[in-house]
Amino acid sequence: MFRLFTTLIAGLLAGLADAQPAFDCRRATAEIEVLICEDESLQALDRQLAKTWTRATAVWPPQTMSEQRAYQRGWIKGRNDCWKAVDAKACVTLSYQTRQVTLSISAGLVEDPGYRKLSCDGDNTTPFTATFYNSLRPRAAVLTRGNDQVIALSSPSASGARYVAQGVEFWSKGSEARVEWFGTTLNCVFDHAASQEPEAQ
């Protein structure tokens, strides 16, 4: 009986340990950090990102680490700025999901599926490519047009595949795609020579 009680207590303590973010909530001072400490779904996202960060740091060469630590500090600052958002939780959730995708791709933790070329409104002078990471959750697309690049996350769609980021919406169905690119609407078609496809909802 005592052994069973001890096992139950140990399991309860382990569960309580898991129900925390990766950082120490006793030291949380920023408004967003307090929000994370009070929300189980945000705590889970923080733990998941911490695990991905650990995996990423294990494969980056030493000369890359100082740069990546600076990026991470910048990301934390940006995440904490979500207190300014109308929906702070949605802002924090998106921040974690985007950072998760960025880390996974930059550290090579996910297979590179290759990119697809698009031709938009007959413009062949501005290169536009899309890489669809369907194995990630949430699914993501790296969209590159000229010198601009964004990571867009999968979003519900009645049909086809839809990816969104701040200032960008990419919706595709079959060989065609409609793109809102920082205020510009583009009607595009995929290069049929490529085999990779976005994954519909």
| 83-114 per-position pLDDT tens digit | 999 999 999 999 999 999 999 999 999 999 99
What pLDDT score does 129 carry?
Answer: 96
What pLDDT score does 183 carry?
Answer: 95
Return d(Cα 21, Cα 17) in angstroms, integer: 9
Q: Which amino acid is located at 69 in the chain?
A: R
What pLDDT score does 148 carry?
Answer: 95
Other residues' Cβ atoms within 10 Å of the Cβ of residue 142: 19
22 and 55, same domain (yes or no):
yes
Return d(Cα 198, Cα 175) in angstroms, integer: 10
100 and 145, same domain (yes or no):
no
Q: Which domain holds residue 59?
A: 2-106
What pLDDT score does 201 carry?
Answer: 60
Structural domain contains residue 198: no
69 and 9, same domain (yes or no):
yes
Single out the residue in 81, 106, 131 at which a domain terminates: 106
Crossing angle for the helix pair 62-80 and 88-106, to the nearest 10 degrees: 170
Domain count, the chain: 2
What pLDDT score does 2 carry?
Answer: 41
Of the candidates 141, 145, 198, which has an alpha carbon nearest to the alpha carbon of residue 174? Answer: 198
99 and 144, same domain (yes or no):
no
What pLDDT score does 125 carry?
Answer: 84
What pLDDT score does 191 carry?
Answer: 85
What pLDDT score does 18 carry?
Answer: 56
pTM: 0.82
CB 140 within 8 A of CB 152: yes
Q: If DSSP codes are grouped into helix, strand and coil, which group holds residue 85?
A: coil
Structural domain contains residue 131: yes
Paired with 132 in beta bridges are 141
User: What is the mean pLDDT, run by run of 10 residues, along the chain of 201 residues?
Assistant: 42 49 90 96 96 95 90 96 97 96 94 93 88 94 96 93 96 95 95 64 60
18 and 100, same domain (yes or no):
yes
